[in-house]
Structure 1
Amino acid sequence: MSRYSRLIGIDVGTKWVGLARTDLLRMVANPIGTYPPPEAIEKLKKLVETEQVEKLVIGWPLTPEGGEGRAIRMVERFITRLRLVLPEIEIAKMDERYTSKEAVAAMVESGVPKMKRRDSDRVNQAAAAIILQKYLDETGN
């Protein structure tokens, strides 16, 4: 692996999976798209094959109290499918509490119209970028 590599952030929702990636210096996370889960797995496979991806960072949906709720099972199933397709790539879990609210707040701040903020696909990809940026900030990765 080159000394330059990317991290990919993943926000798994019930219908959509938001994706984000870092720049090659791993300083900034940017949203790249939202996909139905099977397409997200294919997109991740392509990204790993073509973009020097070192690690996947997946949002871990803890309850407000910090426990593991029902949403964890959905994310675990997604991770299981990812490991079948990308067994060699490291997967890190990152607490995703409140990232969807932060994503909506960021869209408000940047002037995204109210109707567009309601699109769950926009929220998912923005949340993926927030998850990834938090990971970068907390780990210095």
Structure 2
Amino acid sequence: MRPGVRLAVDVGSVRVGLAACDPAGVIASPLRTLVRDAEHDADVAEVAAEARARGAVEVVVGWPLSLDGSEGPAALRAVEYADKIRRSVPGVTVRLVDERLSTVDAHRALHAAGKKERQFRAVVDQAAAVVLLQAALDAERAGHTPGRVVEGPKARRKPRHRGQGGARTPDPGATEDEG
């Protein structure tokens, strides 16, 4: 298990829940709930500032896949959000992790803690981020790599040219390894 603080983000259309773990990566704890600012991305800036302030080695973003595992509109929005975070905290890994049923688990945990439904709105996003992060930590501790890393645009390589008969014609701009 890699040491270091991880930050978890549960992205909603109205609110964003944040959770973090201890530097040993053992237990996830709730941090706060941000107001979602889709127009100006002030919430993304707050997530980035939190990651920098805590020296996070990774930011885990909830990826709301459909029950069949496909990416619907909400999952695509989460991918875009994760990419904004990636660009805001260079050098910090941003990972998308399946969050199916994390909100359901968060509701169960809040019920078990004696919270009333009307109290949920303020903390359910944080609780969902805790569920998400704890699952990712547990998976990593068990030797699994949770989710997928968000990567920037790939550098485009020049297409290789082929001469007659399929023999390769060296690309004049290629290095010796590629050539």
Q: CA RMSD in A?
A: 1.7
Asked which structure has the greater RCO (Cα within 8 Å, sep 6+), the reply is 1
1:76 counterpart = 2:64: no
- The two structures have a TM-score, normalised by structure 2, of 0.71
Q: Secondary structure at the match of 2:69?
A: coil
**Distance in structure 2 (CA, Å) of the matches to 1:31 and 1:40:** 16
Q: Percent identity, please.
A: 28
- Unpaired runs of at least 5, structure 2: 144-179
Residue 6 of structure 2 aligns with which residue?
7
AA partner of residue 134 (structure 2): Q
Could you give the per-residue CA deviations for residues 97-127 of structure 1, whole angstroms, max 9, x where no partner exists?
A: 000010000000011122112x1x4111100
User: Contact 1:21 / 1:132 at 8 angstroms: preserved in 2?
Assistant: yes
**Distance in structure 2 (CA, Å) of the matches to 1:131 and 1:8:** 10
Residue 114 of structure 2 aligns with which residue?
111
Greater helix share, structure number:
1
Residues 35-46 of structure 1 aligned to structure 2 (within 5 Å): 35-37=34-36, 38-46=41-49
**Distance in structure 1 (CA, Å) of the matches to 2:87 and 2:137:** 26
Residue 133 of structure 1 aligns with which residue?
134
Q: Secondary structure at the match of 1:44?
A: helix
Q: Secondary structure at the match of 2:70?
A: coil
Residue 170 of structure 2 aligns with which residue?
none
**Distance in structure 1 (CA, Å) of the matches to 2:129 and 2:113:** 17
- The two structures have a TM-score, normalised by structure 1, of 0.89
Q: Which moved more, 1:126-135 or 1:28-37?
A: 28-37
Residues 14-93 of structure 1 aligned to structure 2 (within 5 Å): 14-37=13-36, 38-93=41-96
- Unpaired runs of at least 5, structure 1: none
AA partner of residue 55 (structure 1): E
**Distance in structure 2 (CA, Å) of the matches to 1:29 and 1:40:** 21
AA partner of residue 92 (structure 1): R
Q: What is the CA-CA distance between 1:33 and the residue it aligns to?
A: 0.8
**Distance in structure 2 (CA, Å) of the matches to 1:94 and 1:40:** 19
Q: What is the CA-CA distance between 1:4 and the residue it aligns to?
A: 5.1
